[in-house]
Structure 1
């Protein structure tokens, strides 16, 4: 994958097509590969599509220091990427952890990110009581998976022992079919076990996840390890402190939200309130929510046709307004 220098690191990115620019930000534990079904459809519709491996993932640099993975670094990477590619502004689209990056980019730099689409994780503004991991600790939820990720080395050893099995269990475990069966990915890591062992084994891969796709994730993470992505979680407390200047600020650019109807994120505490608040409270130009029936957390991989249609509808609305 080609790469560019931006914000002090080397960022591997796919850059295809011509037209209005779209920047697609992946989540954890994924790669730019997670957007493989969106790129051809968006390019065919007349867009220039930029898909980076995010900081700490895949072919992009993974700085050593934990504190080099704050939300300011992550948004800064996206600004730097636009600068390196000589793009004045774009629509930013993010899934999972990429969604908070996209939401914050739209909040902090509306001059560069003129519209935003979040997938799986709704916009949840900075609250008054600390970060999600801080609140979980205060409630004694020490086996909550985000708390489990905090101690450097622990989750790396767990996830990195067998990357193929890790991705097989994590990806299938958070999918819609598994959620519907009642065996979805647990939010709490079982006492005396790691996250991978807590997740159910997978007998047969679903149609949306091919063996080749699984091997792409597994072989890449076998090479890079898991530290980079885990460091995003280790900055949740720091991010809460750093974003104090934006406390109470609204996202004012056009925005939309897309998720699988069976996504476990939507059942986490506070997510229902965040979903409702986007309708004109936290986002002043909200263009709607699309919940995809039968799909789980990996919505753009599980239901690419529905996601592509929702994204193109949102994007065509922007073009019409222009």
Structure 2
């Protein structure tokens, strides 16, 4: 575990893969930690990438007490981490759920710092949020136990073998002072209607979507709507049978699509022997 200082606190991150490899920065979604990528990261590192997995402000090993947990603030943290690790050289970014909004913000705000994007479970913003869903979202943000029940329902086909240990560690983290405040803040941000800066993104982008993602009435259609809003080249990788966490539920199928995309979107990297 490493820490990056900022004026408000510290952002925790982990590094894996060869030090000379192209930098990949991974951003998790709400109510989670960088551990959500635990099954995907080894495949990225084995492909020759230097993988930095951040704990978003307020979560995991990052400090609490931040002034806000907005899309823009987390996007600024992402850019700060890229510069911290890579100087003026750009990096590729993989993000999940509401973390995608921060990745999109960063790509629009500083296009010279982001080579390409992989957006897992991003949302177009075209479908209105039903009132009962707003109430349910606020309810699960009240306790780590309720959030854990919600996460269980987000794996419709298969949970990874270590899911019990992962969930226990996540709930223990959320029970630490100040952690649920980050979750509730991100829930309110989501319910307020995030406007993604898709139209300002010109970098090559891959949208990864589970075909059984319960966050969408039609996951494939919503992925197409998001792709159409991007100004740069975009493609879609559907993970058959996966829910909102395809990178954890079906990491091999997810890695297959995104590694192909990354290899085509930038010069090939040396594969680890």
The question of a shared fold, defined as TM-score above 0.5 by the shorter chain, is answered with yes
Q: 2:223 aligns with which of 275, 278, 282?
A: 275
Q: Give the Cα–Cα distance (whole angstroms) in 2 for the partners of residues 238 and 261 of structure 1.
A: 23
Q: 2:253 aligns with which of 272, 297, 306?
A: 306
Q: Give the Cα–Cα distance (whole angstroms) in 2 for the partners of residues 7 and 238 of structure 1.
A: 28
CA contact (8 A) 2:22 2:48 kept: yes
Question: Cα distance, 1:26 vs. partner?
Answer: 0.6
Which residue of structure 1 aligns with residue 76 of structure 2?
76
1:172 counterpart = 2:172:
no
Q: Give the Cα–Cα distance (whole angstroms) in 1 for the partners of residues 258 and 34 of structure 2.
A: 17
Which residue of structure 2 aligns with residue 232 of structure 1?
186
Which residue of structure 2 aligns with residue 222 of structure 1?
175
Question: Cα distance, 1:276 vs. partner?
Answer: 2.4
1:265 counterpart = 2:265:
no
**Structure 2 unmatched runs, 5+:** none
After superposing on structure 2, the runs of 4+ consecutive aligned residues of structure 1 that deviate more than 6 Å are none
Higher-Rg member (1/2): 1
CA contact (8 A) 2:90 2:115 kept: yes
Q: Give the Cα–Cα distance (whole angstroms) in 1 for the partners of residues 265 and 66 of structure 2.
A: 40
Deviations 1:53-77, CA, capped at 9 Å, x for gaps:
0012111122354xx2222211111
Which residue of structure 2 aligns with residue 105 of structure 1?
106
Aligned CA distance change for structure 1 residues 91 and 7 (closer, same or farther; 3 Å): farther
SS at match of 1:111: helix
CA contact (8 A) 1:12 1:52 kept: yes
Query: If the length of structure 2 is used for normalisation, what is the TM-score?
Result: 0.84
Deviations 1:121-165, CA, capped at 9 Å, x for gaps:
14x37x7xxxx8xx64xxxx443237853xxxx755x324xx3x6
Aligned CA distance change for structure 1 residues 318 and 63 (closer, same or farther; 3 Å): same
Query: If the length of structure 1 is used for normalisation, what is the TM-score?
Result: 0.73
Question: RMSD across aligned C-alpha pairs, in angstroms?
Answer: 2.8
